[in-house]
Amino acid sequence: MAKLKIKKGDMVLVLSGKDKDKKGKVIEVRPKDGTVIVERINVAKRHQRPSRNFQGGIIEKALPLCVSNVMLVCPRCSEPARVKRQAGNRVCGRCKEVVDKVK
């Protein structure tokens, strides 16, 4: 289980795959698998049977992406950048500004 440099709520850019060059917000991070789920990215349609709680039909479901296929978009400079760690804080590799501080 590796420590990931992407967190829930981050804006990321997809680097490869069918959704290349699209930006989205991270909904869920799975460090055990090394994957992230990004809203409106890597969406598949699933057929759902009717049940007591659900009418049934075709639903869209966001599937996980490998964390190596996404890059953080810095909130300060609005550019995709590598993330570095300095004193426990995440730092933008381009503008050297602190992305978020450790609590």
Smallest CA-to-CA distance from 84 within 66, 99, 69, 103 is with: 99
Q: How far apart are CA 89 and CA 83, in angstroms?
A: 10
Q: Name the DSSP letter for residue 41.
A: S
User: What local confidence, expressed as pLDDT, does residue 3 receive?
Assistant: 82
User: What local confidence, expressed as pLDDT, does residue 1 receive?
Assistant: 67
Smallest CA-to-CA distance from 28 within 17, 44, 16, 12 is with: 12
Taking CA atoms, 10 is separated from 21, 83, 96, in Å, by: 16, 12, 17
Residues of the chain with CATH 2.30.30.30: 1-72
pLDDT in tens, 62-88: 999 999 999 999 999 999 999 999 888
Residue 100 pLDDT level (bands cut at 50, 70, 90): confident
pLDDT in tens, 10-57: 999 999 999 999 999 999 999 999 999 999 999 999 999 999 999 999
Average pLDDT, the chain: 93
User: What local confidence, expressed as pLDDT, does residue 88 receive?
Assistant: 85
Fold assignment, 1-72: SH3 type barrels. (2.30.30)
Residue 5 pLDDT level (bands cut at 50, 70, 90): very high
Q: List, in order, residues 6 or more apart from 101 with CB less than 8 Å away.
A: 89
